[in-house]
Amino acid sequence: MILRNTIAGQVLLLLLYARHTFFSSAKTVASEQLSMALPEPRAYLPDAQNLDFVYHDHEELTRFLRATSARYPNLTALYSIGKSIQGRDLWVMVVSSSPYEHMVGKPDVKYVGNIHGNEPVGREMLLHLIQYFVSSYNTDQYVKWLLDNTRIHILPTMNPDGYAVSKEGTCDGGQGRYNARGFDLNRNFPDYFKQNNKRGQPETDAVKDWISKIQFVLSGSLHGGALVASYPYDNTPNSRICRSSALCAMFQTYSAAPSLTPDDDVFKHLSLVYARNHAKMSRGVACKSATPAFENGITNGAAWYPLTGGMQDYNYVWYGCMEITLEISCCKFPPAYELKKYWEDNQLSLIKFLAEAHRGVQGFVFDPAGMPIERASIKIKGRDVGFQTTKYGEFWRILLPGYYKAEVFAEGYAPREVEFVIVEQHPTLLNVTLQASKRVEGVGAGGPSYYRPMQAPQHYRPGGPPPYAAAASTENGIFSTISNGLNSLYSNIFG
């Protein structure tokens, strides 16, 4: 009261008020500047129409997939192919106008993300791809055509356990790369060139079982740590040069020689489709000064660095599925506020790549009564990796324009060779009828027997050792350990 009634007191009160106002205003400005510098607060709504650009943990990912499936029951179907070591579901979302069952003549394609747990950009891109497909079906004619004519299977995360221990903002290193038992899942598949003695993991076993049941035509595996589309082979037959010396094998492994498939022209084309539709990839700019630059944004896997037990080689060699590896971020686990830009960079590529399943030849293999022949083996002459028909007798093969011959085999039927032409605009429709084996009378002491056609060649199938892999036995000792260590170090740096 005394202060209020004196001039000095009033002056003091004015000074105190001014001081309070100044610091309050300064605090408000500082708070506003801080809020402007930081990303928007997270507001995740699992049933919201728009998916936010943040990293989603496994529970949030599961809620989003379930909510999307409930919201769009005519375009999506959700299923699990198995569980991780720590019990997390390996969810797959089918996006198609016929999501719950295979429609005859409609190819199956797939994307797999997050095989390395600390490379989650692909995981988020696949969630946004699902969201874009279902929300654009009625407004985007290209998306409508794609979903009407294709069944798209999307596995956003193959390694949810590794993701759970990864850290946002970590661009390099191996924390979270492996599964809960410390295995690199992209080194855990059977290999054509070298025996892979690594114990099979639940995640890779689930994927192997998955692709054995569905005849996938085309596939992409999303990674991080570089900016490039990499195509098979990932491994190399270095046993041709180094048959016994582990030291020789080690230096040959890191000589970065290309290892080309019989379908090298197709794999280069598929890689270029992704790279050229990407905002930056086709420029071939190196992520860092110490890392390689890739011409046109593509590379042969073994030419970059060889690896044993990779998923893309397994898809191709064992099942004829054309898979490439898509490295889509220089930083393995970039900050979440960059995700929107990654989506803008990759959206068109992700869509256009899948449409390539409709390039080449497709058709059916029938018996003389017009019934489909399941598991008929087909090989394009000059391309030794074969493929098989579905239970409906369907087949697909991505090929570039040109003149081809197909060799068709089936148990109990005479083999047949068919000529056809591929054009740029439309897939070639090719139906093949196989005749039953001819009967040969009076052969053998047991009475009549039947001519059995020559068995379909294995075409790099895993039934026996590959033609030049006998000498590629697993090397033991210190040099093998050094080689494996270098491979692991290179993988952790570059993806």
Using DSSP's 3-state secondary structure scheme, residue 62 falls into helix
Determine the angle formed by the axes of helices 141-149 and 339-355, rounding to 10 degrees: 50
Distance CA 106, CA 218 (A): 12
Determine the angle formed by the axes of helices 246-253 and 478-494, rounding to 10 degrees: 10
Distance CA 472, CA 133 (A): 45
Distance CA 309, CA 294 (A): 23
327 assigned to active site = yes
Query: Who contacts 294 (Cβ-Cβ below 8 Å, separation ≥6)?
Result: 227, 228, 284, 304
Distance CA 129, CA 134 (A): 9
Give yes or no for a contact between 162 and 179, defined as CB atoms under 8 angstroms apart. yes
Distance CA 180, CA 160 (A): 9
Compute φ and ψ for 248, nearest 5 degrees: -60, -45
Compute φ and ψ for 229, nearest 5 degrees: -100, 120
Among candidate residues 124, 203, 323, 327, the one labeled active-site is 327
Quick one: tokens of 118? 């600390």
Instruction: Check the CA dihedral 156-161-166-171 and report its sign.
Output: negative
| Long-range residue pairs from 99-105, CB within 8 A, at least 24 positions apart, any chain | 99/74, 99/75, 99/151, 102/151, 102/214, 102/390, 102/392, 103/151, 104/392, 104/394, 105/362, 105/394
Using DSSP's 3-state secondary structure scheme, residue 91 falls into strand
Q: What DSSP element (H or E) covers 68?
A: helix 58-71
Radius of gyration of the chain (CA): 28
Quick one: tokens of 443? 């052969």
Catalytic residues: 327
